[in-house]
Amino acid sequence: MNTTSSAPIQIGLWDLVSHPALQAILGVLILMAVSFVAFQSLAKLRGSTKSEGELADLLQKNFEEMRSEGDISEAEFRKISASLTVVASSRNDR
């Protein structure tokens, strides 16, 4: 007679989680989730640090400095300033 039993093999959750392939997959998923949350948090924080008016003023000052150093001509500076003014006024109309 055959004395081996045909009882189903039971695999516990701990046995499944301790498998190296599953650990690697879970590790990557956790890393992706943490990275996503960090990216979203930084994007919200960075977006709220400068208002549009402050950004336009900063750009204007940077272009004035470039003009004074001779990197751009007076005509280029006037064109850029006019463009910044148009963009700033169109955003203020929203």
Provide the mean pLDDT of the chain: 83
Q: Which amino acid is at 35?
A: S
Query: Could you tell me the CA-to-CA distances from 76 to 9, 30, 54, 85, 90 in Å, in that order?
Result: 78, 50, 22, 14, 21
> What DSSP string runs through 33-90?
HHHHHHHHHHHHHHHTTS-HHHHHHHHHHHHHHHHHTTSS-HHHHHHHHHHHHHHHHH
Q: Please tell me the predicted confidence (pLDDT) of residue 48.
A: 61
For the record, the structure tokens of 65 come out as 């400095």
Domain regions of the chain by residue span = 13-49, 50-94
Residue 23 confidence (pLDDT): 92
pLDDT band of residue 43 (cuts 50, 70, 90) is confident
